[in-house]
């Protein structure tokens, strides 16, 4: 990879506290976001565990990508981190201590809108340390089956993300594509309000496995044969937008700003994190790379 620029790191200007219920566990949890010094990164602390173990939000600490991104061990780690990390990355909060008294952040309404509103209210402070902005010198593609995610080079700082959602035909969700530039204003307006979603069949499967039993149909964006059940879309392409939100959260695990154009087709957390892993490895190696095709 190559550095094409930098910006000064940022942290919160004041603390953020949010209470809520976890999407997966259904347990009440309190989230506290605290300002942190330069080069701290985004770090989770499990206050409900002895010694308040720390779990850095970085690729080496990923332990699960099945339907959500998980960090750390089952006993002291954190699950469903993607919406919160997307918010911090989308609003360019580089250094933050994330304190939790449970295994997951509050699920809120399944979107990042509540996180984003709280962070905007808290404000941000510039720090003297620099955050590198990096790009690939040539296209990089990671694939698994008929799903792909790629990143294409940038000539200047800035990230664009395109997501192509395709459940096939006939499917519970129509094919849709969404493309956007990623910056704080766009994140708050176009991505943060977009909720996590499942098909009706997936919802039954998750509930049978003990996940989300506390949620009703109106609490989650569930798609049946005729569209959302007991709910209304906030955007016509809300599912594709939420997938972009997930990508921002998963790529935040790189620990640097990525510049270029990310294009994803049917990608999920596993493929997103694999791309983040490849990019992190290349950044550490800091050597030129050819056009690469990797199978996850």
3-state secondary structure 103-149: CCCCCCCCCCHHHHHHHHHHCEEEEEEEEEEEECCCCEEEEECCEEE
Peptide linkage before 212 cis (omega within 30 of 0)? no
Q: What predicted TM-score, i.e. pTM, was given to this entire model? A: 0.93
pLDDT in tens, 33-86: 999 999 999 999 999 999 999 999 999 999 999 999 999 999 999 999 999 999
How many angstroms separate the CA atoms of 172 and 229, rounded? 11
How many angstroms separate the CA atoms of 209 and 103, rounded? 18
Spell out the residues 6+ positions from residue 127 whose beta carbon is closer than 8 angstroms to its own: 8, 9, 10, 11, 37, 38, 94, 95
Q: What's phi and psi for 136, nearest 5 deg?
A: -85, 145
pLDDT of residue 288: 43
Tokens read off for 276: 């983040």
Domain extents in the chain: 2-295
pLDDT of residue 70: 98
CATH class of 2-295: alpha beta
Partner residues linked to 86 by β-bridges: none
Active site residues: 269
The per-residue pLDDT of the chain, averaged, comes to 93
pLDDT in tens, 221-266: 999 988 999 999 999 999 999 999 999 999 999 999 999 999 999 9
Report yes or no: 187 and 244 within 8 Å, Cβ to Cβ: no
pLDDT of residue 296: 45
Q: Which helix (H) or strand (E) holds 159?
A: strand 159-165
């Amino acid at each position: 990879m190559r550095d094409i620029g930098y910006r000064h790191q940022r942290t919160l200007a004041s603390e953020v506290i949010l209470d809520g219920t976890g999407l997966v566990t259904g347990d009440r949890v309190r989230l506290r976001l605290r300002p942190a010094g330069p080069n701290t990164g985004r770090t989770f602390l499990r206050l409900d565990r002895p010694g308040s173990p720390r779990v850095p939000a970085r690729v080496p600490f990923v332990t699960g990508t099945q339907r959500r991104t998980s960090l750390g061990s089952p006993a002291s780690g954190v699950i469903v981190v993607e919406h919160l990390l997307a918010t911090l990355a989308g609003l360019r909060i580089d250094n933050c201590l994330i304190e939790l008294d449970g295994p997951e952040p509050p699920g809120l309404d399944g979107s990042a809108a509540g996180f984003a509103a709280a962070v905007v209210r808290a404000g941000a402070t510039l720090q003297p340390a620099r955050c590198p902005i990096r790009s690939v010198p040539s296209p990089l593609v990671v694939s698994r089956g008929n799903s792909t995610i790629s990143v294409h080079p940038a000539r200047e700082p800035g990230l664009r993300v395109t997501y192509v959602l395709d459940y096939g035909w006939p499917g519970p969700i129509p094919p849709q594509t969404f493309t956007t530039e990623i910056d704080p204003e766009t994140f708050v307006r176009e991505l943060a309000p977009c909720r996590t979603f499942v098909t009706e069949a997936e919802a039954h499967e998750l509930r049978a496995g003990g996940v989300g039993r506390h949620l009703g149909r109106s609490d989650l964006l569930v798609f049946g044969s005729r569209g959302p059940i007991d709910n209304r879309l906030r955007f016509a392409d809300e599912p594709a937008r939420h997938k972009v939100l997930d990508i921002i959260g998963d790529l935040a695990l790189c620990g640097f700003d990525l510049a270029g154009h990310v294009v994803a087709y049917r990608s999920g957390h596993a493929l997103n994190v694999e791309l983040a892993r490849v990019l992190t490895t290349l950044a550490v190696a800091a050597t030129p790379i050819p056009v690469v095709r990797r199978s996850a």
